[in-house]
Amino acid sequence: MSATPAVTSGAALDVTDHPLVHDVNAEHADSLSPVEKFCKQVADSTGAPLALFLAIAVQAIWIPVGIITKWDVFPFAFLLTCSNVLQLILIFILAVGQRQSSAHAELRAEHDHDSISRLIYHQELQEQILIQIATKIEADVESLKSMVAKLASQDSDP
């Protein structure tokens, strides 16, 4: 018996293409509407250091230019109005982006739970198979059974 799996029809074996493993990121991206995708892009870009630098730079340039040209002098009413309108718009865009991030986290958690449940079930089956093999070759399985029982009782304690 060979240790390498047989590959049918000359196709390369792709270990990342497992039927039980879901690409949660792609699944979440596919579920977003165009408006939600736009909001996510804006939310991601406004959270970047470049956006902070840009906001500081605009205000640092606006204040001296407004004073020198007397176009928007202290208390800079036009700058404050533009800033407030932009903030009001961004509040809702960021809320939509946050909601999408939360939905993505929930989807990822559900898939992680499914994967872990399958792994635990698989491990329990392997334990049973190993005990059956050990019994057939007449090995002492009582110590193995007691260790498995001890581990199971430790897992069930809160």
Is residue 7 in a domain? no
Is residue 52 in a domain? yes
Is residue 48 in a domain? yes
Q: Is the pLDDT of residue 51 over 70?
A: yes
* pLDDT reported for residue 9: 46
Residue 17's pLDDT band (cuts 50, 70, 90): low
Is residue 72 in a domain? yes
Percent of the chain residues topping a pLDDT of 90: 20
Q: Rounded to two decimals, what is the model's pTM?
A: 0.58
Is residue 10 in a domain? no
Structure tokens at 5: 């799996």
Q: Is the pLDDT of residue 25 over 60?
A: yes
* pLDDT reported for residue 58: 92
Contact 148, 127 (CB under 8 A): yes
* pLDDT reported for residue 2: 41
pLDDT (tens digit per residue) in 74-117: 888 999 999 999 999 989 988 888 888 898 899 999 988 988 88
Alpha carbon of 69 to those of 63, 73, 125, 131: distances in Å?
Answer: 10, 8, 79, 87
Is residue 5 in a domain? no
Which DSSP state fits 8? Answer: G
Residue ranges making up the domain that contains 66: 24-156
Is residue 121 in a domain? yes
The rounded mean pLDDT for the chain is 82
Domains in the chain, number: 1
